[in-house]
Structure 1
Amino acid sequence: MKRVVFFLLMILISSCSFFDSKQKRTQELIDEELRHMDWNSVDSYPFFYTCDEADTKEQQKICFEETLISHFQETLNDFEFTLTDKESETVDVIFVIDTLGRIRVDKIYKNALVLNQMPEFDGVITQSLKNLPKLAPALKRGIPVNTKYRIPVQLNTN
């Protein structure tokens, strides 16, 4: 009887440590995978619902960029911006697409010339981004992730 109790007790003790080591090993594998993951790229780009979700990653990127640029051009063509001192000026618009597909302007980099001559520029850009067609967020390993983009906007005086 003592041997049976001892045997059962040994099984119980060794099985607890077996589960602990299995859980520890799983966590080590997860940590290792996270260390080697490329956090600067996504598995699929944000896409507008007018684009094809089954396209390749490169085709998704092209559709995303073309739709975004086309929308910006249409919006900016409706406004008359005037620069008097230079022939052209570049403004960088930094925006974020969150995990729900919502867009928000993070920062607009422009010099004092643009700020002084076109004070309404930020509002037009922000409104243009808010009026974009609905889009799905970028995915990393099947999980929606925030993504940040920069669009250089060339303002010409001609």
Structure 2
Amino acid sequence: MKQFFFFIVCIFFNSCQYFEKKVPSEKELLQKELKSINWKEVDEYPTVSDCETITDKKERQKCFFDVMSQLIQQKLDVDSLSILYPDLDTIQVKVTIFPNSKMKFEPQFQKDSVAYDTIRIDSILHARLVDFPKVNPAIKRGLPVKTQFILPVIIKEKEKK
């Protein structure tokens, strides 16, 4: 019995090494967490007050893009882009929404767009695309983040009277 007790005590003290686990360092944990994050998607898309009541993520995103496209088109309807450039029917506008809710608009032109005065179009867009309603930025892991997307803006040809 004494030998059995001694044997159990020896096993008990030697078995502690089997329970001892390596604790990962802070850097290892950080790298693992950073690799697990999908940086191409956000938890919540940017939104405007018209879309905040929608709970479905995809529907809310669609609502936001629809509202933004509509607002941009309304602001450009009063302009002379369609008169100056009758061949230009659509402009791709890169919209950047910063974490502080500020927005930036940049027209995206094709590389072979020498037929248009890109500087003039850019200045017209910057002059017209102001005074937007408040946009809540996108959320990633509980924090507001910068997002960018490209919206196709259809330039409507003005009716001749």
What TM-score do the two structures reach when normalised by structure 1? 0.69
Q: Distance in 2 between matches of 1:85 and 1:78?
A: 15
- Residue 70 of structure 1 is matched in structure 2 by 70
Alignment deviations for residues 58-115 of structure 1 (CA, whole Å, 9 cap, x no partner): 12202211110110121111113225674x4432221211111111134532523221
- Residue 6 of structure 1 is matched in structure 2 by none
- Residue 17 of structure 1 is matched in structure 2 by none
Going from structure 1 to structure 2, the CA distance change for 1:53 and 1:98 (only over 3 Å counts) comes to: farther
Is contact 2:94-2:150 (8 Å) kept?
yes
Is contact 1:93-1:152 (8 Å) kept?
yes
- Residue 117 of structure 2 is matched in structure 1 by 115
Q: Any unmatched runs of 5+ in structure 1?
A: 1-20
Going from structure 1 to structure 2, the CA distance change for 1:38 and 1:85 (only over 3 Å counts) comes to: same
| 1:22 Cα offset (Å) | 4.9
In structure 1, the residue corresponding to 2:91 is in which secondary structure?
A: strand
Q: Distance in 2 between matches of 1:151 and 1:123?
A: 18
Q: Distance in 1 between matches of 2:86 and 2:76?
A: 20
Q: Which has the larger radius of gyration?
A: 2
Alignment deviations for residues 1-24 of structure 1 (CA, whole Å, 9 cap, x no partner): xxxxxxxxxxxxxxxxxxxx7571
In structure 2, the residue corresponding to 1:50 is in which secondary structure?
A: helix
Residue 29 in structure 1 maps to residue 32 in structure 2: no
Relative to structure 2, which stretch is displaced further, 102-111 or 59-68?
102-111
Residue 56 in structure 1 maps to residue 56 in structure 2: yes
Partner amino acid, structure 2, of 1:108: Q
Is contact 2:48-2:133 (8 Å) kept?
yes
In structure 1, the residue corresponding to 2:70 is in which secondary structure?
A: helix
| 1:34 Cα offset (Å) | 0.9
Q: CA RMSD in A?
A: 2.8
Residue 137 in structure 1 maps to residue 134 in structure 2: no
- Residue 47 of structure 1 is matched in structure 2 by 47
Residue 146 in structure 1 maps to residue 146 in structure 2: yes
Q: Identity of aligned pairs, percent?
A: 25
